[in-house]
Structure 1
Amino acid sequence: MKKLTLILTLLVGALFTNAKDKSAYINAMQDQIETFKGSKSQEELQASANAFERIAQKENEEWLPLYYAAHAYIKIGFNNTLSLDERDSYFDKAIALIEKAGEISPNNSELTALKGFALMGKLSADPANRGQTMSPLVMQTFGQAMQQNPENPRALVLMAQMEFGMAQFFGNGTEKACGMANGSLALFEAEASEGINPTWGAGQAQALLSKCK
């Protein structure tokens, strides 16, 4: 009986400790996500990436810190005042983090969509030389993300952006892209906004739709 009581006490203690650790992780992520949302400069975005990577080192079974660190690097990479090599280095850092997160959470639509976003960044950094080879890869990656989760609005709006750019380049109509952007807004509206899961992208859909008028 004493042995059973001891086992139960240890189990309850372990559960309590895990709950406290999880709460601390959630709080740290929520605080850093809010900071990240307000980050504009390269220095601020780099600080956010560093903070998320520190969380990832401590919480090595969680994919979201790696996801947000990668997103920060992607935002830096879209800074067209940087050299091509510098931009590529940030996109490559993002892809490496996304692939690491994929080992924790395989077949994750959010990770696949974010990888497509990083690849789209590399394409946009040098479209004249990369368009022919990278455009199919980017669209394939977004398509994979949409297959993994048809309700993922980020996958849909990123695909819409790609479709819009392709339509403009070839002089085609943008109806398909605009319809996809409009569909993504409906998904954004239905998406729960609480917690630490990704919720960004509605602004990109609205910006794209403004070009459809």
Structure 2
Amino acid sequence: MKKYLILILLLILISLVIKASNETYIQAMSSEIARLEKAATIEDLQRCANAFARIQGIHPNEWHPLYYSSLAYTYMGFMTNGGLEAKDKYFAEAKRLVDRAAGLSSGNSEIMALKGFVLMGELSADPQSRGADMGAITLQTLEKAAALNPNNPRALILLAQMEYGTSQFFGQSTEKACKLAKTSSELFNQEKAKNRNNMLEPRWGKEMIEQLVGACENAP
């Protein structure tokens, strides 16, 4: 009887330790995600990326720290004025991290959308020489993200941006892109209105949506 009581107490203790660890993880991640959302400089973004790396070192089986670290490096790639070499360096690190995240969570629409975002960054860094090769790959990646979850507003707005840019380049109608942007906006508002139990899930993309919807509304 005493052995069973000891076993029960040990199980309860393990459960409490796991719960405390999860709560600490969620608290740390939530804090860093909030900082990432407010980051205004490359230095801010680098600090966030480093913080996510530290969290991932403690929780190696969690995909969110890798995801947000990749997102931070993607933002750095778009933000830097250091030229093509600097941009490619940030995007290469973003790609490495998002690939690791995909290894922990396969078939994840958010991760696939971020992969597409990284590819968009690489493409935009040198569109004249990379457009022919990378355009189709980027579009396919974003289409796959949307197929994995048709209600993912980030997948749709990134896809809409690609469609919009391609249509403008070839002088074609932007109607398809604008419909995607409007759907993305509606889905983003629905997502925001939900009572979300997991605050770690991605919620970025509002500014992209507003910019493209505005461009569509002001188009002649």
TM range (shorter): over 0.9
Look up the match of 1:36: 36
- Are 1:160 and 2:160 counterparts? yes
CA distance in structure 1 between the aligned counterparts of 2:168 and 2:3, rounded to whole angstroms: 73
| Equivalent runs, 1:55-204 vs 2, <5 Å | 55-79=55-79, 81-191=81-191, 192=194, 194=196, 195-204=199-208
Per-residue deviation at 1:175? 0.6
CA distance in structure 1 between the aligned counterparts of 2:113 and 2:134, rounded to whole angstroms: 15
Structure 2: tracts of 5 or more residues without a match: none
Bigger Cα displacement from structure 2, 13-22 vs 199-208? 199-208
Equivalent position amino acid for 2:122 in 1: K
Q: Does the CA contact (< 8 Å) of 2:42 and 2:80 recur in 1?
A: no
Q: Does the CA contact (< 8 Å) of 2:120 and 2:138 recur in 1?
A: yes
Per-residue deviation at 1:80? 5.1
Query: Aligned to 1:211, what secondary structure does the other structure show?
Result: helix
Query: Aligned to 1:200, what secondary structure does the other structure show?
Result: coil
Aligned length: 213
Q: Does the CA contact (< 8 Å) of 2:80 and 2:86 recur in 1?
A: no
Equivalent position amino acid for 1:59 in 2: H
Per-residue deviation at 1:149? 1.1
Regions of 4+ moved over 6 Å: none
Equivalent position amino acid for 2:212 in 1: L
Per-residue deviation at 1:202? 2.0
Please provide the CA RMSD for this pair.
1.0
CA distance in structure 1 between the aligned counterparts of 2:100 and 2:106, rounded to whole angstroms: 10
Q: Could you give the per-residue CA deviations for residues 91-133 of structure 1, whole angstroms, max 9, x where no partner exists? A: 1101100111111111111111001000000000000000011
